[in-house]
Homo-oligomer: A and B are copies of this chain.
Amino acid sequence: MAVTIKDVARAAGVSASTVTRALTLPELVSEETRERVRRTAESLGYHPNRAARGLITGRTGNIGLVVPDLGNPFFPSVVKGVQARAHEADYAVFLADTDEDATAEAGLVRRLSKQVDGIVLCSPRMADGQLRALAAETPVVLINRRIARVPSVVPELGDAMRQAIGHLTALGHRRIGYVAGPRSSWADRERVRSLRLVVRDKAVELVEIGNVTPQFEGGVGAADQVLAAGVTAVIGYNDLVSLGLLNRFSARGVAVPGALSVLGFDDIAPAAMVTPALTSVALPKEHAGRAGVDLLLRLLAEPDRSSAIRRELPTQLMVRGSTGPAPV
C-alpha cells in the first residue's frame, strides 16, 4: 500500500541502507547518491514509517499530554501551546483528558507511556509519590506542579500574588476573601501559601473561604458565603470560580465593583466577555505548554542534566472592570 524504503531503494537503484543514510545521515553517502535518493524519495512520496523506525531507535516521535479537564478553558490553551511547539519539533501529540480523576489519570498515563517518548502532565491530580514513581520510569515534565527532581513549568506565583494584592490594597481594600479550590490541588496550596506570605507584612486581613470545585458552579455556590464574610474584595481560585461569583453577585444585585471587587486567576477568554469584565492575573498558558515541550525535549536529549530544571514563567495582572475602589 504505502511506499516503503524498499520501493525507494529499488527505484533509485541502491540498497535500503543507503536510502536511510541518504535521508538521515547525509554525511555518510556521496553527494551524488544522496541527491538521487532524495529525489526519488520525493517523487514517490516516501515518508518513513514512524512505528517501524521507533521499533529500532526506541524513539516514537510522539509525546503524551495529560490534562484534567478540557472543559476549563485554561487547559485548551495549554494544549495549543504544546501542540504548536511539538509540531515545530516534528513530534505528534497524544492527548488524554482525565476528567479530574486521579485514578483515571494514573491509568491513562501508564497507557500512554509506552507509545510516547515522554509525557507532559498538566496540573496532575495524582499524589506526589505516584508522580515521583512515574517520573522514575518515564520522562515526565510537569506543568503547574512542582516536585523535587522532576522538571517543571510553573507560574511565578509569588509575583502574581504581589500584583493581585498590590492592586487591591492600592484600591483601599483591607479585608480580602480567597475562595479556595480543591484541597488536593497543588495549585491551590501554593496560592494559599503565597497569599499568606504576601499578606503578612501588609495591613490586610485574609479570609479563606471553603474549598470548591474549580468550576463555574463552585463559584456560584460560594458567592453567598463570600457575602456573609464581609469582605470588600474577593479572589477566586481561578477565573471559572470568579466568574461564578460574579454571576451570583449579579443575580443577587450586589454591585461589582461598587460593593465588592472580584479578581481571578488564569485570564481565560470568558473573563473578558462578561460585564463587568473580570480582572484577572494572567498565568502562562500557551507559553507554559511550549515551555513544557521544550523541557521535555531537553530531558530526552540529556536526561541527567535537565531533571532538575524548574522554569518559572511570568504572570501579568489584567485589570478590568470587576475591581474598583473599596467602598467607604
Residues of A within 8 A of B (CB): 2, 47, 49-52, 54-55, 60, 62, 65, 70-71, 73, 75-77, 79-80, 83-84, 87, 92-97, 108, 111-112, 114-115, 216, 243-244, 246-247, 250-251, 269-270, 272-275
Contacts and interface: CB of A to CB of B under 8 A. Distances in A.
A216 B95 contact: no
B95 A95 contact: yes
Contact of A76 (B47, B71, B84, B87): B71
B54 A83 contact: no
A54 B65 CA distance: 22
A50, A70, A80, A251: most-surrounded residue (chain B CB, <10 A): A70
Mostly, the A contact residues are helix
B51 A79 contact: no
A87, A95, A108: most-surrounded residue (chain B CB, <10 A): A95
Contact of A2 (B52, B71, B114): B114
Contacts of A216: 269, 272-273
Contacts of A75: 76
Nearest to A1: B58
A247 B277 CA distance: 9
Contacts of A92: 94, 96, 111-112, 115
